[in-house]
Amino acid sequence: MAKRVAIIASGGGLETAYKTFNIALAGAAMDAEVAIFFTFEGLPIVHKQGPSMLKLKPENEPMAEGFARTNVPPIDQLIEAAKESGIRLIACQMTVDALGWKADDFIDGVEFAGAATFLDYAMEAQVTLNF
């Protein structure tokens, strides 16, 4: 059976974006199918204004310097790499509607769907994660 990784990104802040894309990209590099469901506070990660909306939590601000020192790539580069790797980016339609956002507000390549779509995919996954 093909390897499959199913990830929910529901947490807030830049931290969630890094955690999510780090594992997602490693999974894709290891020849797994990867899909990420962005919901609740995780939804801004795939918003066009994501880079300006996502901040580190105050207690994690010292990490910014460490990220720079260790050449951790900016989130937009990780998203580009994710799209190149064929990682599915699924925005939670319910959260999109609840926030009054529109499909055009999101980066290219994002799909819009709900819980059942994610679960239909995740039922066949060997690895499921929530960040």
Q: Is residue 34 near other proteins by the rule CB under 8 A? A: no
Cα of 119 vs its chain's centroid, Å: 16
CA distance 13 to 56: 6
Binder among 63, 72, 127, 129 for other proteins (CB under 8 A)? 72
Segment 80-119, which members bind other proteins (CB under 8 A)?
81, 84-85
25, 84 Cβ separation under 8 angstroms: no
Smallest distance from other proteins to CB 65, Å: 13
The position carrying tokens 């499909």 is: 103
Of 22-30, 57-65, 91-99, 110-118, the window that binds other proteins (rule: CB under 8 A) is 22-30
Q: Is residue 74 near other proteins by the rule CB under 8 A? A: no
Q: How many residues does the chain have?
A: 131
Helices assigned H by DSSP within the chain: 13-29, 50-53, 62-69, 75-84, 93-99, 115-122
Of 37-45, 52-60, 64-72, 117-125, the window that binds other proteins (rule: CB under 8 A) is 64-72
Q: Is residue 22 near other proteins by the rule CB under 8 A? A: yes
Q: Which of 79, 99, 89, 76 is nearest to 37 (CA)?
A: 89
Of 34-42, 65-73, 108-116, 122-130, the window that binds other proteins (rule: CB under 8 A) is 65-73
Interface contacts to other proteins, rule CB under 8 A:
3, 22-23, 25-26, 28-32, 67, 70-73, 81, 84-85
